[in-house]
Amino acid sequence: MTKQNGPKQTGKTPSARDARLKAALKANMARRKAQARARAADVAQDTRNDPQGSEKDS
């Protein structure tokens, strides 16, 4: 049995793919950083409102 090579990709396709992946990664990182900042701000606000850090009863 021999391996059959699939259709060859042109040189243009990988660079377009790389650009698309880079843009998606950048957007994802920006979204995650914004979420982390929002969580940190929420924790800081809770700490200011309740300086003793009392726990809520369930």
Q: What is the pLDDT of residues 1-29, one digit of tens each?
A: 566 776 665 556 679 999 999 999 999 99
Residue 52: pLDDT band (50, 70, 90) is: low
* pLDDT of amino acid 9: 59
| pTM over 0.75, yes/no | no
* pLDDT of amino acid 10: 59
Angle among Cα 41, 42, 47 to the nearest 5 degrees reads 95
DSSP code for 5: P
Q: Is the pLDDT of residue 58 over 60?
A: no
